[in-house]
């Protein structure tokens, strides 16, 4: 129900927002940068609501073996669903190292239950980093070919407000 479930019930879906990014994006930035057009906003109806975030990231690295790329989930300007601090390690939600042939791609899913405690509009987005300087490529394989044997994918973010 739109107004949530009865007191003590919990788990009712109040609203759903979604975005799909089907175009190509790349960055060789050695610091986290936002992926243009890959974000979704939602305005919770209650401070007690939780936001269930579901993300599918289709990506590759333009580098050769040993070139790393990472991404992270961000609420407004705060990184969430990331690993603990460990020395100089990059705190990320996911990532990989480049391997394989020209059609190689990775697919990552994120399911995260967030507690933003606000009724103001919030934006969820994905940021990417290429710490070795090899491009992080969204929706396109290692080989930037337009040949019929290669593919281009789409990545998605869906957020659902659920009653507590």
Tens-of-pLDDT digits for all 164 residues of the chain?
556 566 666 668 899 999 999 999 999 899 999 999 999 999 999 999 999 999 999 988 877 666 888 999 999 999 999 999 888 888 998 888 766 666 678 889 999 999 999 999 999 999 999 888 888 889 988 776 677 777 889 999 999 999 87
Angle at 104 between CA 22 and CA 21, to 5 degrees: 10
pTM of the model: 0.88
Task: Say what the pLDDT of residue 40 is.
Answer: 98
Task: Say what the pLDDT of residue 16 is.
Answer: 96
What residues contact 49, with CB distance under 8 A and at least 6 apart?
4, 14, 161, 162, 163, 164
Count Cβ atoms below 10 Å from residue 145 Cβ, excluding itself: 13
Residue 24 backbone phi and psi in degrees, to 5 = -85, 140
Spatial distance between the Cα atoms of 153 and 164, rounded to a whole number of angstroms: 35
Task: Say what the pLDDT of residue 162 is.
Answer: 92
DSSP E strands, 43-149:
50-61, 68-75, 78-80, 94-97, 106-114, 122-129, 136-138
Task: Say what the pLDDT of residue 157 is.
Answer: 98
């Amino acid at each position: 129900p739109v107004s949530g479930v009865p007191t003590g019930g919990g788990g009712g879906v109040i609203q759903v927002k979604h975005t799909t990014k089907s175009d190509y994006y790349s960055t060789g930035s050695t610091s986290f940068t936002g992926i243009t057009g890959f974000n979704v906003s939602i305005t919770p109806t209650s401070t007690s609501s939780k936001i269930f975030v579901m993300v599918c990231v289709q990506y590759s690295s333009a580098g050769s073996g040993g070139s790393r790329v990472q991404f992270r989930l961000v609420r407004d300007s705060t990184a969430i669903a990331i690993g603990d601090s460990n020395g100089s390690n990059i705190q990320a939600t996911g990532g990989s190292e480049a391997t394989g042939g020209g059609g190689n791609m990775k697919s990552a899913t994120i399911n995260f239950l967030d507690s933003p405690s606000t009724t103001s509009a919030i934006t969820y987005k994905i940021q990417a980093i290429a710490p070795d300087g090899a491009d992080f490529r969204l929706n396109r394989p290692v080989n930037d070919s337009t040949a019929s044997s290669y593919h281009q994918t789409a990545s998605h973010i869906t957020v659902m407000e659920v009653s507590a």
